[in-house]
Amino acid sequence: MPARRRDEALGSLERLFAAKEIVIHCGSGGVGKTTTAAAAAAEAAIHLGGKVLVLTVDPARRLANALGLEQFGNVETRVPAEAFSSAGVEPRGELYAAMLDTKQSWDDLIRRHAPDAKTRDAILANPLYQNLMGRFVQSHDYIAMERLYDIHSAGTYDLIVVDTPPTRNAIDFLEAPARMADFFSSRFLRWLTVPARSRVLNAASRPFYTIADRILGSQFLEDIAEFFLLFQSMYAGFVKRANAVTRVLGDRRTTFVVVSTLESAPVREAQYFISELRSRELHLGAVVLNKVLPGYLLDREATESAQRMCGEADVLAGKLADEHDPAVLERVLCEIGNSFLNFQVVANREAEVRAELSSIPDVVANVPYFDTDIYDLAGLIRLGDKIWR
Amino acid sequence: MPGPNLLERQLLFVTGKGGVGKTTIAAALALLASQHGKRTLVGEVDAKGNLADFFEVDKTDFKPREIAPDLFAMSMHTEESLKEYLRLQLKVPLVARIGPLARTFDFVAQAAPGVKEVLTVGKFLWEVRERHYDLVVVDAAATGHVVAQLAAPSSIRELVKVGMVRDQTGWMLDILGDPSRTGAIAVASPEEMPVNETIELAGRIERETNVDLAAVVVNRVLPELFGRTEEACFDDLRQPARVGALEAAAGPGVAPVLDAAELAVRLRRTRAGHLSRLREGLASGTNLLYVPELFTRHHGVRATQLVAEALGQELGF
């Protein structure tokens, strides 16, 4: 089914993607960010051409399979041409996919920034580091942005489509680079590393160590100190990178696509995120609304018919008598009517929310409620076609 | 048959993939318990969360507040929790709690794995240990991070070999690991990704934490529209001649109503498939609770009440 062409003045995802180099999909968990990002990236590869990369944080095997890959790796892999041809399309460009492996990416980063092999090995072996990068929640946010920067600045791709980690607070990842820079320039960090530098404690930090020793034990403190001391050797590099990452997010070649369903919690998150983008002067390119119920649920005549099917089921069943048991027919008519009215309640609520959200950006794209799962590239493209033009 | 005694436990961590209704279920469970006479605390681990919206009350704070009879609500603030922890449990003198130490601690909490999580989980465990409530329901982190949260006391134990913090983890692990007191509840919806994540999560909780998986709550289960004979009857109704007859009888809006019914049937069928995949993927004997799709108009105290009633039925109240 061809998608309806939108008013030219309103813009489209097609136009947006053609003008940008980085498209960051964000929104709360479970709204379909990853799928939307992959579908839009596939459309970009098909229609715009060039080398398109979809960078995902979601390790879902299904999506990997949909793209014709065994699984996602931390390195970029080309989606095989056969996946497109079996979906019946001839793409103008090439589509690549990669998954963000937090631990692997951190290791790569350390290898790149460590001043020498000894420091590198010491950091990679430090127990605190191993725990920190695997479990430290915010490290996902930072590394995602860092990796994005890295790929973008290598100049390999025309377009990079990213979906963001499922943070509860969608803005966390925006702040991650700045926070990382703060972190490494912190006064406390220098404090912590004092004992490793010299055993002579100054008067200001002595009470801290006395109590911290009692609470945490000196071994832990030493582990921390060693870790941060090692990290400090990379301080300048980190801060520089973090600043560069922040700059890329604000660059005019970068845009944000906010993805949401029409349920109240994701919508609230989306609205919050939109206002944050504005206050940071970041570019909001589009809002994509997922799982939108079909418009016919709001049809007035249908409402009347549904009400009659419930209220006068017995009469209608009598009029329609056929080989089926009239009691069964009556039950079916009533169920059908009821089901319509049930879904209508939700559809009405959604329509109101959609009107509210639509007043914000230039581009609003609706993804209909798919009643089956997407398991191949053809499915992704079917979804993409709904939002592309 | 572990179902009925779910609310007999003292500490329940509710988790689930984003968007499946984790907070709804946490709020509804707490409401249900309080309505059955249990002094209940419901806490969200995310200070920026929206637990208050589910009861339509003012924003919740670190200090628990009674928002309905026997129902108290709070939000986690790591800094506040740290101050309380230093004061109550480590008995650190005031001077150290407010000076650079507290700030440094905050810094360490940001950096060192498990510290922030242990402050979060520790607060709820403390409330349980002190028996301030009959039941503490935690709107915990989403599937991605909840294991780190639940495993925090053990991680701390691995990293910190001596000192008061380590000593504190002992009683925490005792409470966490006791299935008669503590349980995790995974919320899922019968959709593909939530089901995959739930199966994976159940395995990780089993392997990486000492917390018992008390139940899996499947939210938004669509009602079955038809049985087999009814379905044949429905298929006939879709024949052009029959549609015409139905239009003559019930008005011109029949086609969309039939389309909607077909959508409902297909959705239900897809979801039923995911549901059976969930059942197969979980360890046998896992306690499954079902909450139907409620087609509610809004999220709020009314919706929370409806979910509480549905859960109450499942639990045999």
Residue B67 pLDDT greater than 70, yes or no: yes
Residue B4 pLDDT greater than 50, yes or no: no
Q: What is the pLDDT of residue A369?
A: 78
Residue A6 pLDDT greater than 50, yes or no: no
Q: What percent of chain A has pLDDT over 90?
A: 29
- Asked if A29 lies within 8 A of B18 by C-beta distance, the reply is yes
**CB-based contact (8 Å) between B94 and chain A?**
no
**CB-based contact (8 Å) between B145 and chain A?**
yes
**CB-based contact (8 Å) between B155 and chain A?**
yes
In tens, the pLDDT along A329-347 reads 999 999 999 999 999 999 9
Q: Given the structure tokens 């003045």, which residue do they identify?
A: A9
A322 and A200 in one domain?
no
**CB-based contact (8 Å) between B255 and chain A?**
yes
Residues A203, B109: Cα–Cα separation, whole Å: 24
Q: How confident is the model at residue B2 (pLDDT cuts 50, 70, 90)?
A: very low
3-state SS, residue A167: coil
Q: CATH assignment of B3-222+282-314? A: 3.40.50.300
Q: What percent of chain B has pLDDT over 70?
A: 89
Q: What is the pLDDT of residue A4?
A: 43
Q: What is the pLDDT of residue B125?
A: 95
Helix axes B152-159, A127-135, angle to 10 degrees: 160
Ramachandran angles phi, psi of B168, nearest 5°: -70, -25
Q: Is A209 a domain residue?
A: yes
Q: Is A256 a domain residue?
A: yes
A136 and A107 in one domain?
yes
Distance from CA of A19 to the nearest CA of B (A): 32
In tens, the pLDDT along A346-359 reads 999 888 888 888 77
Find chain B residues with C-beta within 8 A of A29's C-beta. 17-19, 142
- Asked if A183 lies within 8 A of B193 by C-beta distance, the reply is no
A136 and A269 in one domain?
yes
Question: Minimal CA–CA distance to A387: which of A286, A305, A293, A310?
Answer: A286
Q: Is A355 a domain residue?
A: no
**CB-based contact (8 Å) between B80 and chain A?**
no
Mean pLDDT score across all residues of chain B: 87
Residues A351, A342: Cα–Cα separation, whole Å: 15
Q: What is the pLDDT of residue B180?
A: 94
Strand segments (E) across chain B: 11-16, 40-44, 65-68, 71-75, 135-139, 182-188, 213-221, 288-292
- Asked if B113 lies within 8 A of A128 by C-beta distance, the reply is yes
- Lowest-pLDDT range of A6-15, B12-21, B143-152: A6-15
Residue A10 pLDDT greater than 60, yes or no: no
A317 and A260 in one domain?
no
A289 and A301 in one domain?
no
Strand segments (E) across chain A: 22-26, 51-56, 77-78, 94-99, 159-163, 254-260, 284-292, 363-368
Distance from CA of A190 to the nearest CA of B (A): 11
- Lowest-pLDDT range of A193-207, A352-366, B180-194: A193-207
Q: How confident is the model at residue A3 (pLDDT cuts 50, 70, 90)?
A: very low
Q: Calculate the dihedral angle through the C-alpha atoms of B92, B96, B102, B104, rounding to the nearest 10 degrees.
A: -110
Distance from CA of B128 to the nearest CA of A (A): 23
Q: What is the pLDDT of residue B152?
A: 86
- DSSP per-residue letters across B295-314: --S-SSHHHHHHHHHHHHHH
In tens, the pLDDT along A310-329 reads 999 988 888 887 777 888 89
What CATH number does residue A205 fall under? 3.40.50.300
Residues B100, B114: Cα–Cα separation, whole Å: 21
Q: Given the structure tokens 């056929």, which residue do they identify?
A: A322
Find chain B residues with C-beta within 8 A of A349's C-beta. 297-298
Q: How confident is the model at residue B80 (pLDDT cuts 50, 70, 90)?
A: confident
A310 and A268 in one domain?
no
Q: What is the pLDDT of residue B96?
A: 54
A115 and A89 in one domain?
yes
Residue B71, strand partner residues? B40, B68
Q: Is A353 a domain residue?
A: no
A198 and A340 in one domain?
no
A209 and A331 in one domain?
no
Q: What is the pLDDT of residue A8?
A: 47
- Number of Cβ within 10 Å of residue B239's Cβ equals 10
CB contact residues (below 8 A), chain B span 99-128, against chain A: 99-101, 103-104, 107-108, 110-114
Compare CB distances from A186 to B99, B107, B254 and report the shortest one's residue.
Answer: B107
Residue A184 pLDDT greater than 70, yes or no: no
In tens, the pLDDT along A210-264 reads 666 776 666 777 777 777 777 777 777 777 887 888 889 899 999 999 999 888 7
- Asked if A208 lies within 8 A of B104 by C-beta distance, the reply is yes
Report how many domains make up chain A.
2
The pTM of this model reads: 0.82
Compare CB distances from A220 to B163, B250, B263 and report the shortest one's residue.
Answer: B163
In tens, the pLDDT along A251-283 reads 999 999 999 988 877 888 888 888 888 888 899
Q: What is the pLDDT of residue A291?
A: 87
Average pLDDT over residues A85-95: 93
Q: Is A268 a domain residue?
A: yes
Cβ atoms of residues A302 and B257 within 8 Å: yes
A119 and A31 in one domain?
yes
Q: What is the pLDDT of residue A56?
A: 84
**CB-based contact (8 Å) between B286 and chain A?**
no
**CB-based contact (8 Å) between B245 and chain A?**
yes
Cα angle A44, A46, A52 (rounded to 5 degrees) comes to 45
Average pLDDT over residues B116-138: 92
Q: What is the pLDDT of residue A54?
A: 93
Q: What is the pLDDT of residue B106?
A: 59
Q: What is the pLDDT of residue A117?
A: 92
A159: containing domain: 8-293+369-388
**CB-based contact (8 Å) between B97 and chain A?**
no
- DSSP per-residue letters across B149-173: HHTHHHHHHHH--SSHHHHHHHHHH
Distance from CA of B112 to the nearest CA of A (A): 6
Compare CB distances from A345 to B48, B114, B295 and report the shortest one's residue.
Answer: B295
A322 and A277 in one domain?
no
Residues B120, B84: Cα–Cα separation, whole Å: 11
Compare CB distances from B113 to A132, A207, A328 and report the shortest one's residue.
Answer: A132
In tens, the pLDDT along B266-286 reads 889 889 999 999 999 999 989
- Asked if B112 lies within 8 A of A268 by C-beta distance, the reply is no
Among A186-190, A196-200, B53-57, B230-234, top mean pLDDT goes to B53-57
A66 and A172 in one domain?
yes
